[in-house]
Each structure stands twice: as structure tokens, then as C-alpha cells.
């Protein structure tokens, strides 16, 4: 039996000077990364050198083993079973890591014996399951993100691709085989990647005896440049270990809360508390949005008690994300390459600061450019809330699937479409809309809002789905009203985050989760619209807008004063 291994941080070496930095050698950097072996931030090391000859590799393994052995971190060699045999004979190596083009696992096992650790890289569900069947001891799943360290990667799979492989492993009975992900992982994304990649089936998928369904978390992350290229490799390893631990146990950011499994439903008290906090704390709603929407979104933000900043400059996001109470809205209305680069920068900044992000995938399915933009944005970080209409939410959902799964899901959705309207447009029936928000929320582990005459909102486990049937058709006659709902949601989510932070330790913040905050923002927005639309002064969309702003402000002040009449 191979030894048991802590896969939380898996260091893969690379001799490229551009990664190592001037004057540094692989052995020196690994030595620095493993300094203070009793702290054990790195659980396993792989010598990866595509160009070295066997004799050089044996020498390097001998030198590396001086550091890995005291740290009790197994030392593996990439690709080369022949080198592994020789190095194991000398006691300088504990196994091999195989790619899909290398010697197969069964043969390698015969050559290396039962105690060798044999890992395999998998990019697809089939490769992952086959490797386990063949007796792999662990899997390296990837490529998560395109990375300059390895440019010939076969598939960039994102966190949804990793999650699909973990699910397939559970379903094939290999849930116990450790798995790490690889490709573009650094301290700034490790926490949310580990969190987002985990396969966590909804509670109602358990068996009839009520046993909890089996899920599967990543065991850790495999990195090259995050440690080999770090100025202080030991500190980088420690930082990664901490981020992986938080991703497994706490969620993507400090403000994230796992929603309760069995929530006390439909109590207006938490909604009221969130709106009060919104009123009192004036959260900053940073909108990266299109030109048409900027004015109304800013006015809506002011009316609900938030402070709007309209800035499409991604470089400014680092400072804005650090301001107390900040939240980001990304409205993909202007899908230029420049704006996309700005979104990516802003997402990193808000994730790093642990501040909430609302993503509005405007027109997501309309063009190839927008579909690609959705994939880029989804890969760029953790998004706390995704809000869109049916077509947009469906595009976001399908964008995370491989071709085969996408074709199957599209066919299934087709069966649930109902004919509606004189224009012959098709929409999903209510049950299918509920399923769609659940599936996307459970996969991305964020709150999903599907807007329509009835809005469907799923919590971030895909367990609770709320239907909101308020608002008024007049909202559809004014430009920017869908987008400004995202602004209000961002302010409410930010207010909830502040509330939780203030009351943490107080223990009474159970209900103040992102899901409830989203519902609070939607309740305020839709109630105000419904109230405004029926006022005698309102004769159409032109007179509706000022009345709507008035009602938003009035309802928010009433909620803040604990006056429930606005809900009527
Ligand atoms: N294998 P970095 S990606 C060695 O996808 C390797 O199988 C990959 O480097 C795969 O941590 C990769 O610097 C390089 O992004 C990872
Ligand atoms: Mg290989």
C-alpha cells in the first residue's frame, strides 16, 4: 500500500528560468518551500522536467529527497517510469505521475510495485474514471485555467469541469480516490477554486433511507509557478495551504455563509433587518455597466440608500473593493474586449477583498462574443449572485457544460418549453425554471435569480427556491430597470455582509445570508414598482420613472423605521 498523503498543496517543479527567477535552481526553491518541515505546508512534490536526461533526473531526485524526506512529503517523478524505477531502487523517490500519453498505470504498477504512488492526469470524465479503474492512487484534474506554464494543455475545463469529474468519480464508486486540480492556481484563487469545484449533491438526492448523498471535495491544488516562481516559496506554500483549508471548510470568501439546510421560511424580520442595515450603512454599489443604464442605476442606488459609483475601469477596482461596504455589479451590456479585461480585473479585486459580486449576463446568448465573455467571466472568480432572464441564465448554465452534456440538456429543456405570446416565443415552464436556477446555483454555489413575470431565486445550495411574483409590467417599458435590480441586489447583499460581520459572535445572524439579502432587495424593488404603477399621477413609462424612484425611497425609509406598511 502506498503511504497516506496530504494532498492539500502539491508542488510540481519546473526548471524554466523564467519561472524560477534569475540565479535560482529547482533544488534551492524546493528546499526553501519545504523549510521548517514540521509545519508541513507541502504534502507531496513532483519533479517535472521534460528535457532532462535520466542521469540528471536521478541526481536531482537525490538532491530533492534530502528535503522531501524530512518533510515526509513523497517525491514523485513526472512521466518517466524508468527513472522512477531507478530512483526508487536508490530510495530517492516514492512514485510517478503519468499523463495520458505515458506508460499505462497497470504496467507502471508492475514495474514499480504496490507501494509506489502512481498519479494520473485527467481532463475528462472518462479519463478520470478509467485511471481509477486502472489503479491510480490519486488524480491530477485539469487544466483548470489556461496557464503560461504549460501551453500544450488539451482541455481548459474551469471549476465546472473539475466538478463534473468529481461527480463522475463518486458515481463510479471512486469517491475515495484523492484528487487535486492543476493549471493556473495561485493564492488569490485557490480558496474559491477549491470551494467552487467541490461536488455537493442536494440533500434530496439521498437514498430513501434518508442517508446523506455522497459528495466529493478536491483534496488540494497542484501548482508550479505559485510556489516555484514565488519570491518566498515557504510563505507561498503556507498561504496556499491556508487558502485550500478555507475553501474546503468556509466557502469562497469571508462573507460567504452556507445557507441553513432547513430554514425558517418566510419570516419578514430578516428582510427588514437587511433593509435597515442598507439604510444605515449606505453600501457602495460599484457598477460596471453600459452607458444606457448608468443614470437610472445610479438614481435607483440613491433611492434605496446605497452610494453608487459608475466605473468601468478595472484598475480602479482594487481601491474600490477595499472601501467598507463595497459591492460590485458586472453588467455585461457592453461586451468589448476592453470591458471584458476590466471585468476580470475587478472580479479578482473583489474576490481578494472578500466583497460581493453580482453578475448580470446581459444578452448572454445573443452572440458568440457574449457566450465567450460568459465563460471568461465565470472562470475569473467567484460570483455571489447571477441574475438574468431565462435565456441568459440558460446560456450561463450551458456554458459550463461539455458538448455532450450540453446537447443532452438542450434536448431536455426543449421538452419543457411552452408556446407563449403572439410572437411565438418559447419559454420554459415554471417547474423547468425552478430546476434551472437550482442546477446552476448548486453547480456555481451562488445565488441565482431568473427574472420574469414570476422570478425564481435559488439559494447557493440549489435547495431553497423562492418565487417572487410582485413588480409590474411597466418595469418592462423603461430601459435599465432590469439592470438596476442588480444594483439594488448588490446593495442588499453588501448590507447583509456588514450585518453579519457586526453580529458575528452574537450568534443571531443565522438568517442573514446572501439568499435572504437578494430576496430583500427584490422585495423592495418589486413592491416599489407595483405601488408606483398604480398611482394616479402615473400615466405611462415617462411618469412611472419618477414615481418609482419616489416609492423606492419611501419604502426603504419605512423599512428602516420598522414600519411594515410598505410591504402592503
Ligand atoms: N499540468 P501553474 S497544467 C504541469 O493541465 C501542468 O495537466 C497541467 O502550472 C495539466 O501552476 C500544468 O504554474 C502547469 O499554472 C501548472
Ligand atoms: Mg506527462
pLDDT in tens, 113-153: 999 999 999 999 999 999 999 999 999 999 999 899 998 88
Query: Which of 38-47, 252-261, 311-320, 524-533 bottoms out in mean pLDDT, i.e. has the lowest?
Result: 252-261
With bands split at pLDDT 50, 70 and 90, how would you rate the model's confidence at 23? very high
What is the 3 state secondary structure string of 247-276? HHHCCCCCCCCCCCCCCCCCCHHHHHHHHH
* For the CA of 140, the nearest atom of ligand 1: 7
Is domain 268-526 in CATH 1.10.274.10, yes or no? no
The residue with greater pLDDT, 409 or 511, is 409
Q: Which of 29, 98, 143, 144 to mutate to test the pocket of ligand 1 (most atoms within 8 A of CB)?
A: 143
What's the sign of the alpha-carbon dihedral 243, 508, 524, 459? positive
CB of residue 224 inside a 6 A radius of ligand 1? yes
182 lines ligand 1 (CB under 6 A): yes
CA of 104 from ligand 2 middle (Å) equals: 11
Mean pLDDT of 10-20: 97
Ligand nearest to the CA of 48: 1
Please state the atom number of ligand 1 nearest to the C-alpha of residue 147: 15
Q: Find the DSSP H helices in 282-429.
A: 291-303, 317-322, 337-353, 368-380, 390-399, 403-415
Please give the average per-residue pLDDT across 245-268, as a whole number.
Answer: 62
Say if ligand 1 is within 6 A of residue 364 CB. Answer: no
pLDDT in tens, 345-373: 999 999 999 999 999 999 998 999 999 99
Q: Name the closest ligand to CA 152.
A: 1
User: Is residue 562 classed as helix, strand or coil in its secondary structure?
Assistant: coil
More confident residue, 6 or 291: 6
- Does 226 contact ligand 1 (Cβ within 6 A)? yes
- Region 56-69: mean pLDDT is 98
Beta strands at 465-468 and 455-458: parallel, antiparallel or unpaired: antiparallel
Distance (Å, whole) CA 515 – CA 461 = 10
Q: Whose CA is nearest to atom 3 of ligand 1?
A: 183
pLDDT of residue 271: 84
- CA–CA dist 518, 271 (Å, integer): 9
Average pLDDT over residues 154-163: 90
Give the per-residue pLDDT at 414. Answer: 78
Mean pLDDT of 86-93: 98
Strands 117-122 and 138-142, sheet pairing: parallel
pLDDT digits (tens, 9 = 90+) for 425-480: 568 888 899 999 999 999 999 999 999 888 999 999 998 888 888 889 999 999 99
pLDDT computed for residue 207 by the predictor: 54
Closest approach atom of ligand 1 to CA 229:
13
pLDDT of residue 10: 98
Ligand at minimal distance from the CA of 101 is: 2
The pairing of strands 385-388 and 357-360 is parallel
Quick one: which atom of ligand 1 is closest to the CA of 12? 4
pLDDT value for 507: 46
**Span 382-398, mean pLDDT?**
96
Q: What is the pLDDT of residue 263?
A: 32
Helix (H) or strand (E) holding 541: helix 541-560
Q: What pLDDT, on the 0 to 100 scale, is given for residue 441?
A: 96
Confidence of residue 206 (pLDDT cuts 50, 70, 90): low
Q: Which ligand is nearest to the CA of 150?
A: 1
Q: Mean pLDDT over all residues of the chain? A: 90
Q: Report the greatest alpha carbon distance in the chain.
A: 90
Give me ligand 2 centre to Cα 99, in Å: 4
**Percent of the chain's residues with pLDDT above 70:** 92
CB of 342 within 6 A of ligand 1: the answer is no
Nearest atom in ligand 1 to the alpha carbon of residue 142 is: 5
CA neighbor of 287 nearest in space, from 260, 318, 326: 326
CATH code: domain 9-249 is 3.20.20.70
223 lines ligand 1 (CB under 6 A): yes
Q: Say how many Å lie between the CA of residue 98 and the centre of ligand 2.
A: 5
- 151 CA to middle of ligand 1, Å? 9
The pLDDT of residue 141 is: 98
**Is 0.85 exceeded by the ipTM?**
yes
Is 427 a pocket residue for ligand 1 (Cβ < 6 Å)? Answer: no
Q: What separation in Å is there between the alpha carbon of 180 and the centre of ligand 2?
A: 16
CA neighbours within 13 Å on the CB side: how many for 536? 0
If one compares 154 and 71, the residue with the highest pLDDT of the two is 71
Angle at 477 between CA 394 and CA 309, to 5 degrees: 75
Q: Is any atom of ligand 1 closer than 6 Å to the C-beta of 143?
A: yes
Cα 495 to Cα 516: distance, rounded to the nearest angstrom: 11
Ligand 1 site-directed mutation target among 10, 33, 220, 224, most atoms within 8 Å of CB: 224
Residue 553: partners with Cβ closer than 8 Å, 6 or more residues away: 303, 304
Pairing of strands 385-388, 455-458: unpaired
Query: How far is 348 from 354, CA to CA, in rounded Å?
Result: 10
pLDDT tens digits along 525-562: 999 999 999 999 999 999 999 999 999 999 999 988 88
- DSSP class of residue 216 equals B
Higher pLDDT, 463 or 93: 93
Provide the pLDDT for residue 509. Answer: 65
Atom number in ligand 1 closest to CA 185? 11
* Greater model confidence, 509 or 253: 253
Distance CA 76, CA 60 (A): 12
Q: Which ligand is nearest to the CA of 12?
A: 1
pLDDT band at residue 205, thresholds of 50, 70 and 90? Answer: low
Domain boundaries, the chain: 9-249, 268-526
CA distance 160 to 164: 6
Query: Whose Cα sits closest to atom 4 in ligand 1?
Result: 150
Percent pLDDT > 90 in the chain is: 74
Whether 342 contacts 314, CB under 8 Å: yes
- Ligand 1 site-directed mutation target among 16, 131, 182, most atoms within 8 Å of CB: 182
101 has pLDDT over 90: yes
Q: Which residues is 309 bridged to in the sheet? A: 286
Q: What is the pLDDT of residues 499-527, one digit of tens each?
A: 887 765 544 566 788 999 999 999 999 99
> What integer pLDDT is reported at residue 264 of this predicted model?
33
Q: Between residues 558 and 417, which one has the greater pLDDT?
A: 558
CA 157 vs. chain centroid, Å, equals 13
Which residues are close to ligand 2, an ion, with C-beta < 5 A? Answer: 79, 99
Contact residues for 308 (Cβ-Cβ < 8 A; gap 6+): 284, 285, 287, 297, 298, 301, 302, 487
Amino acid at each position: 500500500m502506498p503511504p497516506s498523503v496530504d494532498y492539500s498543496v502539491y508542488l510540481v517543479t519546473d526548471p524554466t528560468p523564467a519561472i524560477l527567477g534569475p540565479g535560482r535552481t529547482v533544488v534551492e526553491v524546493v528546499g526553501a518551500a519545504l523549510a521548517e518541515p514540521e509545519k508541513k505546508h507541502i504534502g507531496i512534490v513532483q519533479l517535472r522536467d521534460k528535457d532532462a536526461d535520466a542521469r540528471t533526473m536521478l541526481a536531482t531526485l537525490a538532491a530533492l529527497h534530502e528535503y522531501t524526506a524530512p518533510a515526509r512529503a513523497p517525491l514523485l517523478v513526472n512521466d518517466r517510469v524508468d527513472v522512477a524505477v531507478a530512483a526508487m531502487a536508490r530510495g530517492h523517490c516514492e512514485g510517478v505521475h503519468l499523463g495520458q500519453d505515458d506508460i499505462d498505470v497497470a504496467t507502471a504498477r508492475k514495474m514499480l510495485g504496490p507501494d509506489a504512488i502512481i498519479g494520473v492526469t485527467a481532463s475528462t470524465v472518462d479519463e478520470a474514471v478509467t485511471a481509477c479503474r486502472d489503479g491510480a492512487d490519486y488524480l491530477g484534474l485539469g487544466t483548470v485555467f489556461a496557464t503560461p506554464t504549460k501551453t500544450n494543455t488539451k482541455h481548459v475545463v474551469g471549476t465546472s469541469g473539475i466538478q463534473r469529474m468529481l461527480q463522475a468519480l463518486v458515481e463510479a464508486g471512486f469517491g475515495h480516490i484523492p484528487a487535486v486540480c492543476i493549471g493556473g492556481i495561485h493564492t488569490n484563487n485557490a480558496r474559491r477554486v477549491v470551494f467552487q469545484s467541490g461536488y455537493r449533491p442536494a440533500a434530496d438526492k439521498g437514498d430513501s433511507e434518508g442517508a446523506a448523498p455522497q459528495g466529493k471535495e478536491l483534496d488540494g491544488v497542484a501548482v508550479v509557478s505559485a510556489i516555484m516562481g514565488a519570491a518566498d516559496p515557504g510563505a507561498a506554500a503556507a498561504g496556499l495551504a491556508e487558502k485550500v483549508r478555507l475553501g474546503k471548510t468556509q466557502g469562497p470568501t469571508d462573507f460567504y455563509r452556507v445557507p441553513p439546510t432547513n430554514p425558517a421560511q418566510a419570516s419578514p424580520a430578516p428582510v427588514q433587518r437587511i433593509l435597515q442595515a442598507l439604510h444605515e450603512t449606505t453600501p457602495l454599489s460599484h457598477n460596471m455597466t453600459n452607458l444606457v443604464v448608468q443614470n437610472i442605476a445610479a438614481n435607483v442606488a440613491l433611492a434605496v440608500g446605497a452610494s453608487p459609483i459608475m466605473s468601468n475601469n478595472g484598475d480602479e477596482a482594487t481601491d474600490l473593493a477595499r472601501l467598507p461596504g463595497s459591492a460590485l455589479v458586472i453588467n455585461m451590456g457592453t461586451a468589448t474586449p476592453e470591458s471584458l479585461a476590466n471585468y476580470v480585473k475587478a472580479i479578482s479585486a473583489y474576490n481578494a477583498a472578500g466583497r460581493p459580486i453580482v453578475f448580470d449576463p446581459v444578452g448572454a446568448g445573443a452572440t458568440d462574443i457574449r457566450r465567450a465573455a460568459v465563460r471568461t467571466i465565470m472562470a475569473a472568480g467567484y460570483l455571489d449572485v447571477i441574475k438574468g432572464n431565462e435565456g441568459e441564465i440558460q446560456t450561463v448554465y450551458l456554458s459550463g457544460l461539455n458538448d455532450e452534456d450540453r446537447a443532452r440538456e438542450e434536448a431536455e429543456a426543449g421538452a419543457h418549453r411552452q408556446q407563449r405570446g403572439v410572437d411565438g416565443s418559447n419559454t420554459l415552464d415554471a417547474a423547468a425554471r425552478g430546476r434551472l436556477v437550482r442546477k446552476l446555483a448548486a453547480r456555481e454555489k451562488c445565488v441565482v435569480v431568473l427574472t420574469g413575470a414570476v422570478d425564481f431565486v435559488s439559494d447557493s445550495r440549489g435547495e431553497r427556491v423562492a418565487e417572487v411574483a410582485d413588480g409590474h409590467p411597466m418595469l418592462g417599458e423603461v430601459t435599465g430597470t432590469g439592470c438596476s435590480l442588480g444594483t439594488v441586489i448588490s446593495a442588499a447583499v453588501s448590507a447583509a455582509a456588514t450585518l453579519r460581520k457586526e453580529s458575528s459572535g452574537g450568534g443571531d445572524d443565522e438568517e442573514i445570508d446572501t439568499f435572504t439579502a437578494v430576496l430583500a432587495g427584490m422585495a423592495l424593488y418589486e413592491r416599489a414598482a407595483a405601488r408606483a404603477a398604480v398611482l394616479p399621477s402615473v400615466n405611462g413609462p415617462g411618469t412611472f420613472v419618477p414615481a418609482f424612484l419616489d416609492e423606492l425611497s419611501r419604502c426603504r425609509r419605512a423599512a428602516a423605521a420598522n414600519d411594515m406598511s410598505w410591504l402592503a
